[in-house]
């Protein structure tokens, strides 16, 4: 095979060429290039493997064997295929030498024609134009062959990825870029060796640059074909959407982030912490009351991290009997106990490369705490019934609604395990401490649930929302979701009123004062609506003494309520005690 020409083209051509066959220089190529005035007899490269990292402007292949055996070479050079016909019979040494000389003259004439008639200059200029186009594109381009060996990286791709082309040429793209640039959508993973077609794909992904910075990309992947129509490699183009996505999240985070709903400043701090935690692999301990969304935060950390392409495996440590928890966490081998009819992988092995979420971790027994501590310290475990240790690469996120430090003091929880789990603590605020989020959450659940049951254009009245805002919500967000479900069952109209809410929210106040459900009852002609002492006291306590909100709840004007309070001064300070 005769290879390459013209690294630099000016008034004279400086050519870099090689004649290659496995293990030795092709004598035909030596003679042909000598006839063209180029000596390749002392070229260093002798095999294709030796030139895989060399860059060429032009590649010329000779004969059918070279045509089909030429790999994708670095730098995406132009490729020309020359068929050199000849008599392959060897009727003596003289006949072979004559044939070599004839082929050498034929090749030499073609080589001289490349230089003499401007063909080479045209090809070189075409390559330079290609480079200029690649340099001006806002998208980065990366090309690799069917072995995922990188053969081209555009200037914009160098800027986005943080790698120079010379650093990555010839390397497996999966080993260079972490996590994989294809984000689990590798065009080759399901195709190579199976005969399946490589289909164009578009998707979003993120990865870490050479210096560790996180980039978010929009990817477009298409197959590359050789002249026979066979797939020769893959071209991926991508645009850096990091800043755009950051701005989008900044807007979205006014109301939500990664599936977590909330605009209160306490939740904004949680969002910032999730973003920071996603850049590391440190263990995280999420604390908070039941129903505050601890698992949502754990999933958000996983989905924003470099482990997002792997499994997120949750397990509730308090819901699984002690006798089976070890098998659930670490797996078992066949015959380990009665009923173990086959080997079974545990949650840690299933989560290898990803994240395991240990909910209610405070419920672990002392024996299980010791086993978990070993996994965190050494990254090894033994399935039940096995004498062989297995390794796993897992990020551990745990959660509890208990005060774990107090359990450590009482001896119920190992101190060394606590500090292994709580490298980064995250404390979820209860709903009563972020009341500004109640309307947002209530509206979110109302839209979600009403769409699921086929009821459109549902709304919550101001009075019902006022009751919800004043309630303590001991069950937090989960209880609020249940309250919306309850209200949709009770409400047969389009607006949820106070009497549709669960009894724990309303106490005995289940319908508007002096009215049937949903409508006001006028008093006698010229008389104002009557107020009951117990209803006014209840309303004031519910709204923490806010007179305007109490009047709306009672469906009377503020003047009416103020006049009533003048007549009953003992109510003036109701609800203001706390």
Q: What is the pLDDT of residues 247-304, one digit of tens each?
A: 776 666 556 677 788 888 888 889 889 988 988 889 999 999 999 999 999 999 998 8
Tell me the three state secondary structure of residue 318.
coil
Q: First and final CA of the chain: distance in angstroms?
A: 90
| H-assigned helices in 137-241 | 155-161, 165-168, 173-176
290-322 tens-digit pLDDT = 999 999 999 999 988 888 888 999 999 988 887
pLDDT at residue 513, rounded to an integer: 43
- Strands (E) in 298-416, as ranges, are 312-316, 355-359, 380-381, 390-391, 395-400
Given a cut of 70, whether residue 244 has pLDDT beyond it is yes
Please, are residues 364 and 319 in contact by the beta-carbon 8 Å criterion?
no
Tell me the three state secondary structure of residue 283.
coil
pLDDT band at residue 16 using 50, 70 and 90 as cut-offs = very low
Please, are residues 277 and 424 in contact by the beta-carbon 8 Å criterion?
yes
How confident is the prediction for the chain on average, in pLDDT?
A: 77
What is the CATH code of the structural domain delimited by 260-429? Answer: 3.40.50.300
74-133 tens-digit pLDDT = 666 767 777 666 555 555 555 566 766 777 677 777 777 777 777 777 777 777 777 777
Nearest to 261 by CA among 296, 237, 235: 296
- What is the average per-residue pLDDT within 213-217? 81
More confident residue, 97 or 372: 372
pLDDT at residue 254, rounded to an integer: 56
d(CA 125, CA 369): 69
Given a cut of 60, whether residue 369 has pLDDT beyond it is yes
524-571 tens-digit pLDDT = 344 445 677 877 888 888 777 888 888 877 777 788 888 888 888 888
Fold of 137-244: Beta-Lactamase (3.30.450)
168-199 tens-digit pLDDT = 887 787 777 766 666 555 655 444 444 446 67
CA angle 244, 245, 250 (to 5 degrees): 100
Domain 435-571 CATH class label: mainly alpha
Domains 2-126 and 260-429 alike in fold: yes
| H-assigned helices in 79-163 | 93-116, 119-136, 155-161
Could you say which architecture CATH assigns to the domain 2-126?
A: 3-Layer(aba) Sandwich (3.40)
pTM, two decimals, is: 0.54
The percent of residues in the chain predicted with pLDDT above 70, rounded, is 74
Given a cut of 50, whether residue 20 has pLDDT beyond it is no
Please write down the HEC assignment for all residues of 18-47.
EECECCECCHHHHHHHHHCCCCCCCCCCCC
Please, are residues 111 and 62 in contact by the beta-carbon 8 Å criterion?
no
| Domain residue spans of the chain | 2-126, 137-244, 260-429, 435-571
pLDDT band at residue 152 using 50, 70 and 90 as cut-offs = confident
d(CA 327, CA 27): 68
More confident residue, 55 or 412: 412
Neighbours of 138 (CB within 10 A): 8
pLDDT at residue 191, rounded to an integer: 45
Given a cut of 80, whether residue 435 has pLDDT beyond it is yes
* Residue listed under structure tokens 């009416």: 560
Pairing of strands 256-257, 312-316: unpaired
pLDDT at residue 531, rounded to an integer: 78
pLDDT at residue 8, rounded to an integer: 31
Lowest mean pLDDT among 88-102, 343-357, 408-422: 88-102
């Amino acid at each position: 095979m005769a290879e390459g020409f013209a690294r630099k083209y000016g008034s004279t051509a400086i050519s870099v060429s090689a004649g290659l066959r496995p293990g030795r220089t092709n004598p035909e190529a030596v003679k042909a290039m000598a006839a063209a005035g180029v000596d390749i007899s002392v070229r260093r490269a002798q095999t294709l493997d030796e030139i895989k990292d060399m860059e060429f402007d032009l590649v010329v292949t000779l004969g059918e064997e070279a045509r089909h055996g030429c790999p994708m070479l670095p730098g995406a050079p132009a490729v020309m295929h020359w068929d050199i016909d000849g008599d392959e019979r060897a009727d003596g040494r003289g006949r072979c030498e004559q044939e070599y000389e004839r082929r050498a003259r034929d090749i030499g004439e073609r080589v001289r024609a490349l230089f003499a008639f401007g063909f080479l200059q045209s090809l070189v200029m075409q390559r330079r134009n290609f480079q200029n186009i690649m340099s001006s594109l806002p998208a980065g381009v990366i090309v690799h062959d069917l072995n995922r060996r990188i053969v081209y990286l555009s200037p914009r791709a160098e800027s986005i990825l943080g790698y120079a082309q010379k650093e990555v040429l010839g390397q497996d793209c999966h080993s260079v870029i972490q996590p994989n640039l294809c984000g689990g959508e590798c065009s080759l993973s399901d195709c190579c060796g199976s005969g399946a077609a490589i289909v164009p794909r578009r998707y979003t992904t993120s990865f870490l640059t050479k210096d560790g910075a996180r980039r978010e990309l929009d990817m477009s992947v298409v197959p590359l074909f050789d002249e026979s129509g066979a797939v020769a490699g893959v071209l991926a183009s991508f645009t850096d959407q990091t800043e755009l996505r950051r701005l989008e999240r900044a807007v979205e985070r006014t109301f939500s982030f990664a599936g977590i709903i909330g605009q209160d400043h306490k939740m904004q701090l949680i969002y910032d912490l999730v973003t920071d935690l996603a850049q590391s692999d440190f263990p995280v301990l999420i604390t908070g009351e039941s129903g505050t969304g601890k698992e949502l935060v754990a999933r958000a950390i996983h989905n924003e991290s470099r482990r997002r392409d792997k499994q997120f495996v949750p397990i509730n440590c308090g819901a699984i009997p002690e006798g089976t928890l070890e098998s659930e966490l670490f797996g078992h081998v066949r015959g380990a106990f009665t009923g173990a009819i086959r080997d079974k992988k545990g949650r840690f092995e299933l989560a290898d490369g990803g994240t395991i979420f240990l909910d209610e971790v405070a419920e672990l027994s002392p024996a299980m705490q010791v086993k978990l501590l070993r996994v965190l310290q050494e990254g090894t475990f033994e399935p039940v019934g096995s004498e062989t240790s297995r390794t796993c690469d897992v990020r551990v996120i745990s959660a509890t609604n208990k005060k774990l430090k107090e359990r450590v003091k009482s001896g119920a929880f190992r101190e060394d395990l606590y500090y292994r789990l709580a490298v980064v603590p995250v404390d979820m605020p209860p709903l009563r401490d972020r009341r500004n989020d109640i309307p947002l959450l209530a509206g979110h659940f109302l839209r979600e649930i009403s769409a699921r049951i086929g009821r459109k254009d549902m709304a919550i009245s101001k009075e019902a929302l006022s009751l919800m805002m004043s309630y303590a919500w001991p069950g937090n967000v989960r209880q609020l979701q249940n309250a919306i479900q309850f209200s949709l069952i009770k409400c047969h109209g389009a607006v949820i009123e106070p009497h549709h809410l669960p009894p724990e929210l309303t106490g005995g106040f289940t319908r508007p004062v002096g009215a049937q459900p949903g409508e006001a009852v006028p008093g006698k002609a010229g008389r104002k609506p009557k107020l009951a002492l117990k209803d006014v006291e209840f309303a004031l306590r519910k709204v923490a003494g806010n007179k305007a909100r109490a009047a709306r709840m009672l469906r009377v004007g503020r003047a009416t309520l103020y006049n009533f309070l003048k007549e009953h001064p003992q109510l003036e300070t109701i609800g203001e005690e706390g």
